[in-house]
Structure 1
Amino acid sequence: MTDHDQQPSTSVPSHLLFERVHSGEIGTAQRLAMNRTGSFEWDVGAGTIDMDDAGLLVFGLDPQTFDSRPDTVLNLLEQSERTRLDMAIDDAIRSGRSSCSVHFLVPMENGRDQWTHIQARILRHDDGRPHRVVGVVQDATAEVTHSAFMLDLERRRQRQTSIVERTTSALSRAVTVDDVTAALTGPDALTRLGADGLALALVENTSLSVLALSGDSVEAIDGVGDAGLDRRFPLADTVLDGRPRFLTSVAALIERYPALAPHAGRLEFRAAAYLPLVAQARPLGTLALFYRESTSFNADERNLCLGLAAIVAQSLQRAKLFDEEREFATGLQSAMLPRRIQEIEGGEIAVRYHAAWSGRQVGGDWYDVIALPNKRFGIVVGDVQGHDTHAAAIMGQLRIALRAYAGEGHPPSTVLARASRFLAELDTDRFATCTYAQVDLASGTVRVVRAGHFSPLIRHMDGRVGSPQVRGGLPLGISTDFGDEEYPETRLDLVPGETLVLYTDGLVEEPGADIDVGVRALVHEVSVGPAGAEALADHLSDQLWERWGSGDDVALLVLRRSPDPGSPRAPRLHQYIHQADPEGLSDARNIVRQALTDWDMAELADDAELVTGELLVNVLLHTEGGAVLTLEVLPEPVRRVRLSVQDRSSAWPRRRSPGETATSGRGLLLLDAVASRWGIEPRGEGKAVWCEIGPPATQPSGTPPAPSPTAERP
């Protein structure tokens, strides 16, 4: 490349350019000039720049007066743009690059800024020093504007797509009308919709009910919707007319609806879209969206609003149908369950039924309390297979049949056998599981049978929870089909203050986990829960039913026998020790020691704990059932402890003379040595061995001492 003064000029006077264009002779320079593109050559060493007429035209310079100085061009630019251009070129030169490209703004005489683009090549000496920069300069306003327009268009389209996708996703999880309302008004809901305010109103009979208000809304001010469908207000007018309303200013809103004029000064939005909600050709209501920024509601924005309205309308239609089905199913379920539970003497009962949160919220779970002769009563918790109205209908029939069989006075095993036969004779393929028990709180006797159901839980006075081994049979209906209607009976003893818990699988069934996990959780919550039946039922519902996700319905029955604490001067406790509980004996001894410590009688704890172990071991080894331990303080001038162990065996203990190597036979000898008095009393089906520990009873004057007990085991 030669020096600047040796280069032929490539400039073309403008009059020659137009003449050549007119004559059809168009060269490369002319084509570039027609596209507002010119060329330049900057001599770095000489500090001059040669630019053709088309290039000068890009900068708005007169070819006749241009002095070939770079500063003449640079002085046209604002300081910030000049600095940016200088930095881009200097950076390219210093970095050793052979080219550079930069966009910058050039103020024009008409007051507008023109986007200008320079694409240059840097020519260097052999030592790397630059000596010339040659390139093209172009008016890039149209290119940049179009690019900005396309970017803005793409951003708007992405935003609209995002609004539709996020709204659809949020409403796809909405099941009820309340769910739809929550999705439209919850956290980030307005951002998701791309609006600053929202109002949702639904038609109910001949009135318009505003269900949701969020953000900036005129309906929050004038209370529209409380007085029927009034065309003076936009929500009602939109649903009655069935056409959308797009209002681009508050003035336009007031002009169309003068009734809103008193509130004009309090409105914070500048545009509003009132959209009718229509599904299956039926008007459901109106959705109003409000915007703080002014908008013209172009075609894309209107289509977006109408699309959102269609999504909301479909979701509301689906939710209304679900709510109607759920209301019907819930009413059916309520009609099938007992309206009230009778009060019982000697205890308290609490029942709970929780419908599933999913599906139709109806199923086959049930509970019942049945009055029986002689102040006894029956309790039952069961579950018919399925979660639909058919399961609820079968449940209702089965509950009534089981109540009738129990009321006739049949034993528990017969009640379930007949209930199984009844279910098998119904025109259904459903089966049922249940646990049924006859309860006598006067004696604490509980006779339990179960048909493929969970065994009950017993919470003892000290908070421990036992799961007695209740023998069971096949589920109702299936047992009859297989010809096996045997339901063996298990007797439990509920001592004063203990609690019996019956439940269905919805209380312990955690999705994706073994059911034993849920049972262990239930045992824990029963142990740590409050003592009262009502309070414990609420505690279990709160901690477990909601914990598992509530995908199944739940029936729960809590029965507590009234505690027998005695009096402050004569406290008393009862504890049942199950024969199959390996830790029951150790727990009983600990309970006795702790009770005497609490009663300020710790000096008697060693003897009482020893006797407790001996009496309980005798029962657990030589009988076929558990034992009821009673510990009480006798309110005499000299306080003593009375300890009683009751079992269901009629065989009495006998005194023996064990040899030196004998491992048993010393129980009565220890009783004689430790107790001040002891004896045996018949108790209904069994007996009670009792003893008193402490100072001997003071005998009244002239009264012979109590004889030594002579009862012996046969």
Structure 2
Amino acid sequence: MTDHERRQDTDAAPLRRIDRRANGEIGPTERLAMNRTGSFDWDLDARTLDIDEAGLAVFGVDPETFDSRPGALVERLEPAERARLDVTIDEAITGGSNSYNVHFRVPLEDGTTQWTHVQARILRSKDGKAHRIVGVVRDATAEVTHSAFVLDLEKRRQRQTNIVERTTSAMSRAVTVDDVTAALTGPGGLARLGADGLALGLVENSSLNIVALSGESLEALDGLGSGDLERNLPLADAIRSGRPRFITSLAALARRYPVLEPHLGKLRFRAAAYLPLVAQARSLGGLALFYRERTVFNADERILCLGLAAIVAQSLQRAMLFDEEREFATQLQSAMLPPRIQDIEGGEIAVRYHAAWSGRQVGGDWYDVIALPKNRYGLVVGDVQGHDTHAAAIMGQLRIALRAYAAEGHPPATVLARASRFLSELDTDRFATCTYAQVDLATGAARVVRAGHLGPLIRHTDGRVGSPQVRGGLPLGISTEFQDEEYPETRLDLVPGETFVLYTDGLVEEPGADLDAGVQALRNEVSAGPAGAEALADHLSDRLWERWGSGDDVALLVLRRSPDVGSSHAPRLHQYIHQADPEGLSDARAIVRQALADWDMAEFADDAELVTGELLVNVLLHTEGGAVLSLEVLPEPVRRIRLSVQDRSSAWPRRRTPGETSTSGRGLLLLDAVATRWGIEPRGEGKAVWCEIGPAPPPPTAPASAAAEQAPPAGQR
């Protein structure tokens, strides 16, 4: 009990009544009483409460029994309500406040509860001590109830607004029918709709196909909705009639649709809304929403369900139209690309095309493999500006033109110059980039040109991946406009077992990242991927294109020259060292040493590494191209090493006698000192310097020409 109650109980005083007017006039007090409002005067010093009859009526107290004690009123309250009232009064008095107001519940004799409101003013003496509290007390049940109703209504309306906003936002991002289905059934889909389960059915000809079910226990209905649209089922009924069906009793549902009765016992829902999906007078399907707790659909809830159905219907119509356009565009793109890639002799080839995940999934990327005379092949990967059917149409024309120019036997530079002229003459403002290579798999020779495109990658036999410095020109179309159709060729060599990779920028463009980082990621994956062309193409597609979530289309071409593995008794390797590769020389020496260790011939590693460095340095310093290093073990009866370095220079080395201060001229002397024998052989457009390291071969059974062992020196390194 509070101090105020103790004071009130121990020292009661006579009740002071409020005067009422005479003469039949309705005074202020009567007017307040008619509105269940009374007044009171609480003397804190005398510990008495003077309250009029109207105030006592608010508390449900008989005036004849009231003894002026404040405790006589508050003791009727529930303990929690009494404690809250005491705290409010005490805080106002001790805190120096001049007023307070509080709502509390008063239990009535009929078992109901009345909301009561007290608004009071605290009167204080000059020293600030509270001595009286005067105020009014009134029945606030109607006010509080109305306020609670308004708050509840506002909450329901806000919830409905949130449902519409979230659903609209999710549907606005849905492009395809699969996107719409994912938005409805994916994480948060049911919460966005404010439902506990859903079923989505689409009309196909005269059939209904249930394409999505979401919600616990709905698997009991799996297979029931699909089929003839004339079946007596609620969703089909709503679609046929074009009118929604609101079900609040599963028993009523079973009576109307008997085929559902055996399955309703497995459902955990009490209500359902079956809604037709109609857009522009076309019936697209139906949406069923299921609820666990709902037992009635008021007007606002029905309007909400119809609004959700309209949003889903509009999204489905847009998605269906997009899917139809995409299918047409994809078929057009497929028709523009080569239907198949022919088998090639001396290697294996794989191509991949991936449409963009955004837009109409069609663009200007393309690939091609062109059979050329003398068992050569033209390889091209390119990209026409834009991602639409116009870009695909231009790509098809350009691909055919480039194929025709290549088939005529023109060198790569001429092929691209003519292709640029062709694109410039088309009625378009689009340009194109591409990389084109003519490859001879018999020799491994490759002639590469670029038109504003990314250069190729080469995966070496040891797994290293290089980016050869291929010179380039302007994009096709632009080069003709600027009268600069110069496309310089770069000569490369593919040794047996090496892989040549061409690609478009969609494979290396990661949103928000630098292009160089994407190219490096591609190099890493090419190095880590499997050796076969088909397997490597799949590996790159899985790890990169899907990894970026590409909004761009991708063309990929992988060519692998057939490996020359030798045998267990006579193994061999080949390695190309590009002139612009600063680490190529040290890598080649390391490869030679490791190979000899693997072949159990480590005792020859020092001599072989020394000769490798000498021959490669001569090529890289004195010629304009790279070199092909070949290392093999000659078979029995005497196992020894044969090492060869091939280049494209026609100048042969000649023996010299260097002076003491000379820094060159000792290469052939070193070769004489280390090798068992050595020689020079013509190879196509260049030559090969070879040597054998190891035990001397057995004497020949027949005379052999000395010239066969060692070619005459000519030229100078």
TM-score range (shorter-chain normalised) is over 0.9
Which residue number corresponds to residue 521 of structure 1?
521
Cα contact 2:177–2:319 (8 A) shared by 1:
yes
> Which digits, 9 at most, give the CA deviation of each residue in 1:149-198, with x for residues without a partner?
11111111111111111111111111000000000011111111111111
Q: How does 1:598-617 map to 2 (within 5 A)?
A: 598-617=598-617
Q: How does 1:214-233 map to 2 (within 5 A)?
A: 214-215=214-215, 220-221=220-221, 223-233=223-233
Cα contact 2:15–2:49 (8 A) shared by 1:
no
Q: How does 1:513-662 map to 2 (within 5 A)?
A: 513-662=513-662
What secondary structure does 2:429 align onto?
coil
Taking the aligned partners of 2:342 and 2:55, their CA distance within structure 1 comes to 102
Taking the aligned partners of 1:11 and 1:248, their CA distance within structure 2 comes to 59
Cα contact 1:120–1:136 (8 A) shared by 2:
yes
Q: Is 1:350 aligned to residue 350 of structure 2? A: yes
**Which one of 5, 18, 41 corresponds to residue 10 of structure 1?**
18
Change (3 A) 1:8 1:412: closer
Change (3 A) 1:641 1:608: same
Pairwise CA distance, 1:555:
0.8
Which residue number corresponds to residue 151 of structure 2?
151
Which residue number corresponds to residue 275 of structure 1?
275
Taking the aligned partners of 2:93 and 2:388, their CA distance within structure 1 comes to 80
* Gap regions ≥5 residues in structure 1: none
What secondary structure does 2:538 align onto?
helix
Q: Is 1:412 aligned to residue 404 of structure 2? A: no
Pairwise CA distance, 1:706:
7.7
Pairwise CA distance, 1:54:
0.5
What secondary structure does 1:326 align onto?
helix
What secondary structure does 1:689 align onto?
strand
Which residue number corresponds to residue 712 of structure 2?
711
Taking the aligned partners of 1:695 and 1:457, their CA distance within structure 2 comes to 40
Higher alpha-carbon deviation: 249-258 or 315-324 = 249-258
Which residue number corresponds to residue 433 of structure 2?
433
Higher alpha-carbon deviation: 348-357 or 516-525 = 516-525
Which residue number corresponds to residue 692 of structure 2?
692
Which residue number corresponds to residue 664 of structure 2?
664
Q: What amino acid does structure 2 have at the position aligned with 1:711?
A: P
Taking the aligned partners of 1:351 and 1:118, their CA distance within structure 2 comes to 84
> Which digits, 9 at most, give the CA deviation of each residue in 1:102-139, with x for residues without a partner?
22211112221111122233445666665443332211
Taking the aligned partners of 1:557 and 1:525, their CA distance within structure 2 comes to 15
Which residue number corresponds to residue 336 of structure 2?
336
Which residue number corresponds to residue 301 of structure 1?
301
Q: Is 1:374 aligned to residue 382 of structure 2? A: no
Taking the aligned partners of 1:134 and 1:405, their CA distance within structure 2 comes to 106
Q: What amino acid does structure 1 have at the position aligned with 2:318?
A: R
Cα contact 1:199–1:219 (8 A) shared by 2:
no
Q: Is 1:112 aligned to residue 115 of structure 2? A: no
Q: What amino acid does structure 1 have at the position aligned with 2:519?
A: V
Taking the aligned partners of 2:278 and 2:441, their CA distance within structure 1 comes to 61
Pairwise CA distance, 1:266:
2.1
Pairwise CA distance, 1:361:
0.8
RMSD: 2.6
What secondary structure does 1:39 align onto?
strand
Q: What amino acid does structure 2 have at the position aligned with 1:285?
A: G
What secondary structure does 2:341 align onto?
coil
> Which digits, 9 at most, give the CA deviation of each residue in 1:509-561, with x for residues without a partner?
34455433433332333233332212221222223323444121111101011
What secondary structure does 1:33 align onto?
helix
Instruction: Number of aligned residue pairs: give it.
Output: 704
Cα contact 1:679–1:689 (8 A) shared by 2:
yes
Cα contact 1:350–1:558 (8 A) shared by 2:
yes
Taking the aligned partners of 2:482 and 2:248, their CA distance within structure 1 comes to 75
Change (3 A) 1:256 1:677: same
Q: Is 1:81 aligned to residue 99 of structure 2? A: no
Taking the aligned partners of 1:317 and 1:30, their CA distance within structure 2 comes to 68
What secondary structure does 2:227 align onto?
coil
Change (3 A) 1:701 1:375: closer
Cα contact 2:217–2:266 (8 A) shared by 1:
no
> Which digits, 9 at most, give the CA deviation of each residue in 1:461-497, with x for residues without a partner?
2222222233333433444455554433332110011
Which residue number corresponds to residue 262 of structure 2?
262
Which residue number corresponds to residue 188 of structure 1?
188
Pairwise CA distance, 1:80:
2.6
Length-normalised TM-score, structure 2: 0.92
Cα contact 1:585–1:613 (8 A) shared by 2:
yes
Query: Percent identity of the aligned residues?
Result: 79
Q: What amino acid does structure 2 have at the position aligned with 1:10?
A: I
Which residue number corresponds to residue 320 of structure 2?
320
What secondary structure does 1:436 align onto?
strand
Pairwise CA distance, 1:264:
2.8
Which residue number corresponds to residue 171 of structure 2?
171
Which residue number corresponds to residue 471 of structure 1?
471
Change (3 A) 1:237 1:219: farther
Pairwise CA distance, 1:442:
1.2
Which residue number corresponds to residue 5 of structure 2?
none
Pairwise CA distance, 1:700:
6.5
Change (3 A) 1:431 1:131: closer
Q: What amino acid does structure 2 have at the position aligned with 1:401?
A: A
Higher alpha-carbon deviation: 703-712 or 155-164 = 703-712
> Which digits, 9 at most, give the CA deviation of each residue in 1:394-443, with x for residues without a partner?
22222223323333333333333443344344443333322222221111
> Which digits, 9 at most, give the CA deviation of each residue in 1:597-638, with x for residues without a partner?
333333322221111111011112222211100112223355
Which residue number corresponds to residue 284 of structure 2?
284
Which residue number corresponds to residue 136 of structure 1?
136
Taking the aligned partners of 2:480 and 2:705, their CA distance within structure 1 comes to 64
Taking the aligned partners of 1:322 and 1:55, their CA distance within structure 2 comes to 72
Higher alpha-carbon deviation: 555-564 or 524-533 = 524-533
Change (3 A) 1:566 1:222: closer
Q: What amino acid does structure 1 have at the position aligned with 2:330?
A: T
Taking the aligned partners of 2:194 and 2:602, their CA distance within structure 1 comes to 74
Cα contact 1:238–1:275 (8 A) shared by 2:
yes
Cα contact 1:537–1:558 (8 A) shared by 2:
yes
Q: What amino acid does structure 2 have at the position aligned with 1:380?
A: V
Pairwise CA distance, 1:237:
0.8
